[in-house]
Amino acid sequence: MRWYIPLALIPLLAACSEQQMCISRATKDLRQVQSFIAESEGNLARGYALVEKQYIDYDYERCGEDADGKTIYCRVPDVETRKVPKAIDLDAEAAKLAALKAKEAQLQVTAAAATQACIEQYPE
């Protein structure tokens, strides 16, 4: 029965055309830099950064019975991830944003050329 699972995934893999995969690879760096720009702009607008921090709490769950039929409870960790504020240097963040925008401009030119090459190499 397990050999049916990979066969079921074949239509999902074929959903993206060669052209789409090529364009996705060609624009990966640009999309990543744009993500950093959005994060930096948000930090500057708020005046602080948001970082993820994990908090561990313990819950008690029923995990069995002993020989006398009494219920046994076990401590189970419950990990919760929260975004908490973190102080940042606003001048350094503004400088980082300027550098990212300059890099974005460079990558847009490169990505446009690579996208055009993908369209020519894999016409639909």
Q: In the prediction, which pLDDT does 67 show?
A: 85
H/E element, 73: strand 71-86
- Decide: pTM greater than 0.75: no
Do 43 and 49 meet the contact criterion of CB atoms below 8 Å apart? yes
Query: Phi, psi at residue 44, to the nearest 5°?
Result: -65, -40
- Residue 2 scores a pLDDT above 90: no
What are the percentages of helix, strand and coil residues in the chain, rounded to 5? Answer: 55, 25, 15
- Name the residue with tokens 């102080």: 87
| Tokens of residue 103, six digits | 């890099």
Do 52 and 82 meet the contact criterion of CB atoms below 8 Å apart? yes
Residue-wise pLDDT for 106-122, tens only, equals 999 999 999 999 999 98
Residue-wise pLDDT for 91-109, tens only, equals 999 999 999 999 999 999 9
Residue-wise pLDDT for 16-40, tens only, equals 899 999 999 999 999 999 999 999 9
Other CB atoms within a 10 A radius of the CB of residue 87 amount to 8
